[in-house]
Chain A
């Protein structure tokens, strides 16, 4: 009780100047970006809802007038247990002029048997098996090679889709002919499996469902998720399809941007995916994802900072935002902690609870915006209980994971040794600077 009284006395005495001095990191970077900017963009987005709905109807009519063939491709390894569920979900789609192509990248489970059976029974159009694993990019490229659609949808085999997902992810191409790729709204299907999955449910809602509405509106949307992304076939051909990963979904988005195409996020095209249910598995996944920031943003596509014929503000700013918030601020956070330890060490027991309180309040504000936008807000109500834990999940788990990944990639190029890709491909990618 005495501590609480002391706590309030301290912050009352400190005043605004000292609060800004101590919480500059939160106030200027986090609150400004994730609360002020996001709420403003969402408000503007909401105001334009009528106009967007009218445009959407026109585009939908154009889609159904043309009825183009859409290629749905699902490259993967050891996805046997997920394939049937995926195909069932695709067969339920409202848009039916599709071809389904599944590529098995050297699986050692029952995938070949299941895939061939589905092909034989006409549930999918083509099943291709590579006896030797070539990596995700080569599997996707093989599927692309045999695709005949005007648009191509890249899907992960462990995903399932709302009935209107295919239709809704294609309509944006008819809203703006300059759009080369559209990202779908990926949500967590197995959120109730564990605490780890619950936290990821909130994270996906924040960073994908709402976060990408904002970045897409601002024109700096940078990753078309590999789990559910749509591409114009001619655009894919122009950019030379997928290069070796990991992080090939972000890579191809940048390639499309550099070639002059617009990238769009469609929140109504909903895909559900299974996320890791254990922190250990999640740690490995995030190490891989985070390494791609260094590999692709800081190495391969560093030329977006150089003015050339394809230079665009939106691409430039998208990169800056990405690098600043994920890389620079990640390092800055450690500086901030040192600053606090050195200059405010005697008040550290007041600083920590205040810091946590600020992040929790911000977390609840974000959760409010999520529930206003989500079409499944009823189902997601349970997530409110987990919002306080997100502070620890984001501030410590994800941050430490990111830092380790950046360190290993910068100094050891660890992504080239990731078993996610076969060694033969990684070796060539390293040797030739991919």
Chain B
């Protein structure tokens, strides 16, 4: 039974016992409603709309959202990055097929242990990838994507990381394979990435051995058998005729293999006027401009990945508690500093913002929970370190965190914008609350994050 309703431009389709969100226009897409629907159907040729829907759903912190099925109505010329990343191509009459796929995915999602806290961001990405593979019941097949930094996009997984972090995908998947959660199935390609920015986009050039110049001219060498003269083709060429004439004995070269041959070639560099036979191949990174030779590029294999039995077991039963405690219980988390050190860094950062204002943010995380008083001092210290580590895991390597007490943390987020910061804050609130709840009995925790841009003339109370 099919019924179509529209709420504030957003079309919703009821079919059997499923509710599908039907998206045709970017303006009509209501992201709030994705909580209530079973799947999303996109009927548009706009790649931008598809990207938007995909990013909002797949990067959500809630597993039921980020694993939600997304379908596309098939059009001729639909880009590969759309086709490869949706859960099926369809047409508007194939609701039965959509319903069947949705049911399979939903059934699989229901079997999952909805883990919400991970020892690290990277493990979170790996875990989500395993969830995705389990619910879709097929392998992770990377596809060529000229917009991707690695030239390959991994469906679902690529979206879990920021653009500048895309190179981590390969490490995350390799770690998954090493830990036995994933299995490498087939080598699809080999890529070479820049050792500075990890981009696989290069301009490959033949360059001069002596000056690295690119203005090269290659010529055949001609060997005249009769007099043993050998030189570049231009030595033999005439100004007004097409004849080849030997500059040594003035004989006309008539027949290759009989009078002469071309035993080799030679390059001439028009920049430094040097000659050589073997130019150097240099790789000019399109993204960062670094010039390298092949020895300095990092080689990676692109492989089809499947979910191993151990990975399947993990997503069904969830992480053992000690696993996601292990890292955060360490007191030496990189980027977590003493308050005094943090204050000094903040001071320096304020001075720096005079030249680069509006890109650095100071954040204060407040954790309020009366039940925290019921745990021992030692447990409080451990939990404080865990919370600091957890907080740091949602920030970059160069960001800084300090723990004032179990209820108060400060962080400094560099090179960021307001939109990103809000997203990160949302994640922090959700995950810190989950961490406190999993460690404190009857917790009624409330986590809040207050942020402000740092300016050089601004006073920040600590």
Which residues of A are interface residues toward B (Cβ below 8 A)? Answer: 106, 116, 119-120, 126-135, 137-139, 141-142, 145-146, 240-244, 424-425, 427-429, 431-432, 434
The answer to whether A134 and B228 touch across the interface, beta carbons within 8 angstroms, is yes
Neighbour of A242 across the interface among B221, B228, B257, CB < 8 A: B228
**Residues in B neighbouring A432, C-beta threshold 8 A:** 226
Would you list which residues of chain B between 205 and 239 have a CB under 8 Å from chain A?
209, 221, 223, 225-232, 235
Kindly state the interface size class of chain B when it binds its partner.
Answer: 20 to 34
**Residues in B neighbouring A431, C-beta threshold 8 A:** 226
The answer to whether B231 and A132 touch across the interface, beta carbons within 8 angstroms, is no
Q: State A427–B221 Cα separation when bound (angstroms).
A: 21
Contacts A128-B264, A424-B225; A142 near B209 (Cβ below 8 A):
no
The answer to whether A141 and B263 touch across the interface, beta carbons within 8 angstroms, is no
The answer to whether A134 and B277 touch across the interface, beta carbons within 8 angstroms, is no
**Residues in B neighbouring A429, C-beta threshold 8 A:** 225-226
Q: Quick check: is B249 within 8 A (CB to CB) of the other chain?
A: yes
Q: Quick check: is B296 within 8 A (CB to CB) of the other chain?
A: no
In the complex, how many angstroms separate the beta carbon of A133 from the nearest chain B beta carbon?
8
Q: Quick check: is B303 within 8 A (CB to CB) of the other chain?
A: no
**Residues in B neighbouring A126, C-beta threshold 8 A:** 275-276
Neighbour of A434 across the interface among B227, B231, B276, B280, CB < 8 A: B227
The answer to whether B230 and A240 touch across the interface, beta carbons within 8 angstroms, is no
13 contacts between A and B (CB under 8 A): A106-B263, A119-B276, A127-B277, A127-B278, A128-B266, A128-B277, A135-B228, A138-B223, A139-B230, A142-B231, A241-B228, A241-B229, A428-B225
Q: Quick check: is B261 within 8 A (CB to CB) of the other chain?
A: yes
Q: State A297–B232 Cα separation when bound (angstroms).
A: 32
**Residues in B neighbouring A424, C-beta threshold 8 A:** 225, 257, 261
The answer to whether A425 and B278 touch across the interface, beta carbons within 8 angstroms, is no
Q: Quick check: is B248 within 8 A (CB to CB) of the other chain?
A: yes
**Residues in A neighbouring B221, C-beta threshold 8 A:** 128, 130, 142
The answer to whether A241 and B263 touch across the interface, beta carbons within 8 angstroms, is no
Interface of A, secondary structure class, is mixed
Q: Which residue of B lies closest to A145 (CB)?
A: B231
Q: Which residue of B lies closest to A237 (CB)?
A: B248
Q: Which residue of B lies closest to A432 (CB)?
A: B226
The answer to whether A134 and B226 touch across the interface, beta carbons within 8 angstroms, is no
Contacts A119-B276, A128-B277, A130-B264; A243 near B227 (Cβ below 8 A):
yes
The answer to whether A240 and B227 touch across the interface, beta carbons within 8 angstroms, is yes
Q: Which residue of A lies closest to B275 (CB)?
A: A146
Contacts A145-B230, A240-B249; A134 near B275 (Cβ below 8 A):
no
The answer to whether A129 and B230 touch across the interface, beta carbons within 8 angstroms, is no
Q: State A244–B226 Cα separation when bound (angstroms).
A: 8
Q: State A130–B261 Cα separation when bound (angstroms).
A: 11
Neighbour of B226 across the interface among A120, A130, A141, A428, CB < 8 A: A428
Q: State A242–B230 Cα separation when bound (angstroms).
A: 11
Beyond A120-B278, A142-B223, A240-B229, 13 additional pairs, beta carbon < 8 A: A128-B277, A131-B263, A134-B225, A138-B223, A138-B228, A141-B231, A142-B221, A142-B230, A240-B248, A241-B228, A241-B229, A243-B228, A425-B228
* Residue of A127, A139, A145 most packed against chain B (CB within 10 A): A145
Contacts A126-B275, A127-B277, A129-B277; A141 near B235 (Cβ below 8 A):
no
Q: State A133–B261 Cα separation when bound (angstroms).
A: 10
In the complex, how many angstroms separate the beta carbon of B231 from the nearest chain A beta carbon?
5
Q: State A139–B229 Cα separation when bound (angstroms).
A: 9
In the complex, how many angstroms separate the beta carbon of B181 from the nearest chain A beta carbon?
44
Q: State A145–B266 Cα separation when bound (angstroms).
A: 12
Contacts A131-B263, A134-B223; A141 near B230 (Cβ below 8 A):
yes
**Residues in A neighbouring B261, C-beta threshold 8 A:** 132, 134, 424
Q: State A200–B392 Cα separation when bound (angstroms).
A: 81
Would you list which residues of chain B between 269 and 286 have a CB under 8 Å from chain A?
275-278, 280
* Residue of B209, B221, B225, B276 most packed against chain A (CB within 10 A): B225
The answer to whether A244 and B228 touch across the interface, beta carbons within 8 angstroms, is yes
**Residues in A neighbouring B275, C-beta threshold 8 A:** 126, 146
